[in-house]
Structure 1
Amino acid sequence: MIVLNSTNLYQVMKATALLMFFCFSVFSAKGQEPNYDESKVPPYQLPDPLKMENGQMVRNTDDWNDKRRPEILNLFESQVYGKAPVHPKDLHFRVLTEDRYALGNMATRKEVAVYFTKDEQHYMTILIYIPNKRNGAVPLFFGLNFKGNHTICDDPDITESITRMKPRDGNDEKQPGTFKRGAESSRWPVDMLIANGYALATVYRGDIDPDYDDGFQNGVHPLFYKEGQTKPKSDEWGTLSAWAWGLSCAMDYFETDEDINSNKVAVVGHSRHGKTALWAGAVDQRFAMAISNNSGCGGAALSRRKYGETVRKVNTLFPHWFAGNFKKYNDKEELLPVDQHQLIALMAPRPVYIASAVEDRWADPKGEFLSGVFATPVYELFGLEGLNGASLPEIDQPLLNGSIGYHLRSGDHDIKLYDWQQFVKFADKHFK
């Protein structure tokens, strides 16, 4: 039997994303219990996605594309996620490894370095699997992973990602071997995607920015500080925006790879990576689809509902995720100039998929669903079907017909084969 004291329990919780989730119960124990009672959701009024800041209504798609969409995007940039810099002029790529007989000859595996600087000291590595049975370029699912490229599959030839976990002495250092090969394979059904004709690509988030509050010193942020600057300004990029920026840099590479159909790239993410995927899809319209799984506050869930994860809770537990300005709205969600249904609307007319889990109350499944519902008028402006209804659908009964897809899965906070199977069905509808 292993006995944990308060000190090493904290270290263990910091070590993995799953155990980090238990921090939420620690938060509750300190007297700031999350609300899980629907009757205690406060009355709220959402910003109209089709009403411009000057009070005029959006009349057509030109008004949306030229006027209203830029307004909403700017508000999210300055008040929620933070503005990211343009891609560096020295951005360049190199294929590090390539094996055309991976996964029992089913796929070609590539590892591609995306260099952010001319001296090649700063880069991220994209791991890519491409079906060998294909006619021309194939569509792609692409997203961040939590623990390193080598953890998404037990393929022994994937180069191990070096973690940036904060060590016990408080000094940052690289720690190989922290996460085991194939440890996250249940979340990445590589074989199933290949069999269905899709390529898969992933990047270890730590290649872009480590997921802890390091004062923005150990990721990509310092590459863009102006003289004398030591941290982002209050309206500049937090970690989620940096991750989305990295995903966008990867799109620059996909456009050069003749095996990948860069017009059919779906950006996908679970939990905090779901927040990131939605923001990446909003900022970079080259992503043809965005998929959010259990993304919660700052993702698909409506902030004004104050249900489960709230603005204060997310800013307290993870102060590095969002722009500094987002902290102004702790306990003041009603003052936000935007809400998350407008983030979903920024994907229009491109398809977007929202996935929830019935036991994941922290992520507010109803709030995630309602974001799709209240984004629907923007999709209807383009003559497309969105989501309708005020009540959640039945468990494990996905809604796949419109350009906004949704399902409420049985189970808890995770991304499972069932989720991916619905993503594939949805992508088949729009990509094939």
Structure 2
Amino acid sequence: MRFPRRRAWAWATTVFVAVVSLAVAALLPRPDATDSLVPVAQAEPGVEDDGADCAVPGTGPSTSRPELPDPFRKLDGTRVSTGSDWRCRRAEIRELAERHVYGQKPAKPDSVTGTVSRTGITVRVAHQGRSASFTASVDLPSGTGPFPAVVVLGGLGADTATIKNSGAAVISFDPYAVGKEGTPRHNKQGAFYSLYGSSSDTGLLMAWSWGVSRIIDVIEQSGGSVLRADATGVTGCSRFGKGAFAAGAFDQRVALTMPIESGSGGTGIFRGIPGESGAQPLSSAYSEQPWLGDAFGSFTGSPATLPVDTHEIVGMIAPRGLLVMENPHIDWLGARSGSVAALGGAEVYKALGAAGNISYWSDVQDGTHCAARPEWKTPLRQNIQKFLLKSGSSSGVFRISPAKSGDLSAWRDWRTPDLADTGTTGGGTGGDTGGGPGTPGDACTAAYRTVNSWSGGFQGEVSVRNDGTGALDGWTVGMTLAPGQSISSLWNGRNAGTTGAVTVRNTAWNGTVEPGGTTTFGFTATGSSSTAPHTLTCDSP
């Protein structure tokens, strides 16, 4: 197995950083109560992979599983039950994704040096007698700095004008400098392969991710006079959206990840692509370019045998900022599978007490591939403010296009635990809005809150609580929508009706609620949020 050496090297780095952090913390004033309310499982500052010391067992022979793998079930068969458990569970997901999807991302090379100026970044790497270099350009916003920055892959990503107007610098990175397209799998080219061999089974997406990490290394070494080392984002569209997704998942120093229209091999669940009409087949995504690791070739016709799927890779980013933007107008992009991945990954965010740190937006009018859409300007600005400038608190929002709305309930048979050690943070700013507690019925109650709203629509969430002494064996929530309101998508439940009087029943996996426990379902709806859904009832058979 190729992995222990990387793990051992990074473990030493992790221990060193942790010891230094503890020493520094001892010199600082004790935080007040509000400072302790932070999401669990956040990596130490400056740590690329905080699970480097976790032992990951082998997976054995592949077995077919049509449902999405349980992100909370460890390889030994037990489930994650505390926030501290998540660190090593994330390490398991990471290595499964490396082994079967992307190929290995090596640890930091023996030597990484370079420079940061107000116009550019140089990166020089050396490892075991081999060396390579590449550059990136820098475009600063107005002001004196130092600035947070967003790495834009391949010149295609989130709107750079909005990024700069929000106060962040733009780092333009050519991924082909580290991993070229148009090469056969046995003769890959670029800085990554100059170090690790042209026959490496690591695909281009992971090579591009490695390049982003080396840029962050140089920013960290630069002293922070131009760019801030603790506030880096990454974005890309189409194939570069696939790369941005991998970069954010595999480097915990990335504070904000923003993949756009990433399609097959990007955020969309692998299990969903074959059944989504018009979506690019996995075999096509694998063969078009050596984006994915060589090992993925054996799964293109049988994704149900993969021991990992992209909802778990979304979960690897938690609790850091994530804004997924998709285009429902081009079937080839598989936006329905993307929505399921985001909804499934959001369950990890919810478990970690960081539900407000993930946003998903596919409800757009312009179908042009990789367009700078007006609908995305506000969430883009809000996410930059929250995660890079540390000056905002807007909660996450799910704007799923009705044309490409996936049903997470059809893909899961697992429950979401509560892993937050100190309560929920970042879970939204809407609070309970008007619905209030529902009418009790058979020991369960329902309560509504508006998670987010916008012109012409809103996102709501209903909590179902078991107030009885025995476990609920199924539940049904009734609620009445105001005139003009209509449900466009719903997850974690099955609804009858979309307007007026609506009933929502549990799915197979969330019907059992223990005494004092809760479960939730969410939805997006058209219409004004000024009047909340009312007359909520909850019944259990």
TM > 0.5 fold call: yes
Superposition deviation, residue 143 in structure 1: 2.3
Does 2:396 align with 1:425?
Answer: no
CA pair 349-188 structure 1, distance change in 2 beyond 3 A: closer
209, 216, 226: which one pairs with 1:244?
209
Note closer, same or farther for the CA distance 1:269–1:420 as it changes in structure 2 (3 Å cut).
farther
Specify the alignment match of 2:97 in structure 1: 76
Q: What SS does the aligned partner of 1:133 have? A: coil
- Tell me by how many angstroms 1:369 deviates: 1.4
Q: What is the alpha-carbon distance in structure 2 between the residues aligned to residue 71 and residue 193 of structure 1?
A: 34
Aligned equivalents of 1:132, 1:219: Cα separation in 2: 34
Which residue of 2 is the match for residue 105 of structure 1? none
TM-superposed deviation, 1:368: 1.0
**2:314 match: secondary structure:** helix
CA 222–206 in structure 1, closer or farther in 2 if over 3 Å, else same: closer
Letter in 1 for 2:316: L
Secondary structure (helix, strand or coil) at the match of 1:303 reads: coil
Q: Which residue of 1 aligns with 2:316?
A: 346
Equivalent AA in structure 2 for residue 93 of structure 1 = G
**Quick check: 248-257 or 84-93, which moved more?**
84-93
Q: What's the secondary structure of 1:297's corresponding residue?
A: coil
Tell me if 1:93 matches 2:143.
no
Which residue pairs with 2:513 in the alignment? none
Residue 316 (structure 1) aligns with: 287
What's the offset of the Cα at 1:383?
1.2
Cα drift, residue 222 of structure 1: 4.0
- Structure 2 residue runs of 5 or longer lacking an equivalent are 1-64, 392-541
**Distance in 2, Cα, partners of 1:421 & 1:269:** 18
Could you say which residue in structure 2 is the equivalent of 1:202? Answer: 172
Letter matched to residue 132 of structure 1: S
Q: Which amino acid aligns with 2:269?
A: L
Q: After TM superposition, list the pairs within 5 Å mapping 1:29-178 onto structure 2.
A: 44-65=66-87, 67-95=88-116, 109-117=118-126, 122-134=132-144, 136-145=145-154
Asked if 2 retains the 8 angstrom alpha-carbon contact of 1:143 and 1:247, the reply is no
Structure 2 residue identity aligned to 1:311: L
The one-letter code sitting in structure 2 at the alignment partner of 1:380 is K
TM-score, normalisation: structure 2: 0.55
Q: Secondary structure at the match of 1:362?
A: helix
The structure whose Rg is larger is 2
Counterpart check, 1:382 vs 2:336:
no
SS at the partner of 2:317? coil
Residues 236 and 242 in structure 2, CA contact (< 8 A), matched pair in contact too: yes
Cα shift readout 1:407-429 (whole Å, capped 9, x = no counterpart): 11221321414345532222223
Of 357, 368, 371 in structure 1, the residue corresponding to residue 341 of structure 2 is 371
**Does the CA contact (< 8 Å) of 1:344 and 1:375 recur in 2?**
yes
2-side partners of 1:57 and 1:297: how far apart?
29
The verdict on how the C-alpha distance between 1:280 and 1:79 changes in structure 2, with shifts beyond 3 A counting, is: same
Which structure carries more strand by proportion? 2
Unaligned runs of 5+ in 1: 1-42, 99-108, 146-151, 153-183, 386-401
Match for residue 195 of structure 2 among 214, 224, 234: 224
Deviation for aligned residue 1:266:
1.1
Kindly indicate whether the alpha-carbon contact (under 8 Å) linking 2:130 and 2:195 is maintained by their aligned counterparts in 1.
no
Cα deviation 1:328-359 (Å, max 9, x = unaligned): 10210100111110110000111211111121
C-alpha contact 2:133 2:191 (8 A) present in aligned 1:
no
CA separation of 1:350/1:331 partners in 2, compared to 1, >3 Å: closer, same or farther? same
* Secondary structure of 1:366's aligned partner: helix
1:179-235 per-position Cα deviation (integer Å, ceiling 9, x unaligned): xxxxx7xx674444323211111111221121122443431244334xxx6511xxx
Name the CA distance, whole Å, in 1 between partners of 2:140 and 2:211.
21
- CA distance in structure 2 between the aligned counterparts of 1:217 and 1:345, rounded to whole angstroms: 30
- 1:261 equivalent to 2:210? Answer no
Query: Which runs of structure 2 are paired with 1:265-276 in the superposition (5 Å)?
Result: 265-276=232-243
Distance 2:350 2:162 in 1: 33
Distance 1:422 1:111, change over 3 A: same
- Contact 1:60-1:381 at 8 Å conserved across structures: no
Distance 1:289 1:222, change over 3 A: closer
Q: Tell me, what secondary structure is at the counterpart of 1:201?
A: strand
Counterpart AA for 1:124: F
Distance 1:314 1:213 in 2: 15
The structure whose RCO (Cα within 8 Å, separation 6+) is larger is: 1
Structure with the largest fraction of helix: 1
Q: Kindly indicate whether the alpha-carbon contact (under 8 Å) linking 1:354 and 1:406 is maintained by their aligned counterparts in 2.
A: yes
Question: Aligned letter for 1:413?
Answer: H
Residues 289-311 of structure 1: CA deviation (Å, up to 9, x unaligned): 11110012221101101221232
* Contact in 2 for aligned 1:143/1:202 (Cα 8 Å): yes
Structure 2 residue 256 is the aligned partner of structure 1 residue 298: no
Native 8 Å contact 1:349 1:379 kept in 2 = yes
The whole-number CA distance in structure 1 between the counterparts of 2:235 and 2:104 is 21
Give the Cα separation in 2 of the matches to 1:360 and 1:425.
27
Residue 330 to residue 120, structure 1, CA distance change in 2 (3 Å)? closer
| Secondary structure of 1:122 counterpart | strand
Shift of 1:44: 3.4
Amino acid at match of 1:231: S
* RMSD value, Cα: 2.3
The one-letter amino acid paired with 2:82 is N
Please identify, of 412-421 and 290-299, the stretch whose mean Cα deviation from structure 2 is larger: 412-421
Q: Deviations over 1:142-192 (max 9, x none)?
A: 1211xxxxxx5xxxxxxxxxxxxxxxxxxxxxxxxxxxxxxx7xx674444
Q: Do 1:142 and 1:201's aligned partners in 2 also have CA atoms closer than 8 Å?
A: yes
Which residue does 2:58 correspond to in 1? none
Q: Structure 2 CA distance, aligned partners of 1:281 and 1:243?
A: 11
1:179 aligns to what? none
Residue deviations 1:99-157 (CA, integer Å, cap 9, x gap): xxxxxxxxxx41221112499973211111122324x4222111211xxxxxx5xxxxx
With the length of structure 1 as denominator, give the TM-score of the two structures.
0.68
Q: Is the 8 A contact 2:179 2:188 kept in 1?
A: no
Q: Which residue of 1 aligns with 2:358?
A: 404
Distance across 2 between alignment mates of 1:302 and 1:267? 21
Native 8 Å contact 2:115 2:218 kept in 1: no
Q: How many residues align?
A: 314
